[in-house]
Amino acid sequence: MKKLVGIFMMICLMLSMAGCGGKLSKEFDETEVKEAAEEMVNLINAGELSQVYENSFTPVLTNSVKLEELQETIDYVLDKLGEFQSFEKVQIKGIKDKNTGTQYATAVVLAKYEEGNAMFTISFDTDMLCAGFFIK
C-alpha cells in the first residue's frame, strides 16, 4: 500500500507540472539533461539505485517515496526484461509548474532490453536534481 502511495505521489507531481509543457527553458542545457537521464538509467541498470536515490533525488521526492518501495517498483518492471541493450530514444521537453512557475526539464527515455522496452520519465529541477521519476 505504501508503495502505491509513493508512486501516486510521483505521478501527482508529474501531472501538476504537466500543465505547461513544451519548449525547454533557457535555464537548462538539453545535452546535459539527456546525459543526466541516461546516467541515471545506467546506474539503475547496474544495481546502483541507492546512489541515484541518495545523490540525485530532491528532498521532496525522497520524502514521498522510500528507497525500498522504489526498488520494488523498478524490480517489478525490469526483472522480466533481461539485460539492458541500448537507448532507443531520448526526448527532452520543458515543463513549467502551473502553481509555482518553477521550470523543470523532463527526459523521456526509451530503453531497450533483451525481452522488451522500458520507459523512464525523469524530471530535473534547475539544480539538475531529480524532481520526478516514473518507470513503466
* pLDDT at site 22: 82
Q: Average pLDDT in the 2-13 region?
A: 48
**pLDDT tens profile 75-90:** 999 999 999 999 999 9
Q: Which three cell numbers stand for residue 108?
A: 523521456
For 76-129, give the DSSP string.
HHHTTT-SEEEEEEEEEEEEE-TTT--EEEEEEEEEEETTEEEEEEEEE-TTS-
Say what the pTM is. 0.83
Note whether 97 and 75 are within 8 A (CB).
no
The answer on pLDDT for 4 being more than 50 is no
**pLDDT tens profile 10-65:** 554 444 444 445 889 999 999 999 999 999 999 999 999 999 999 999 999 999 99
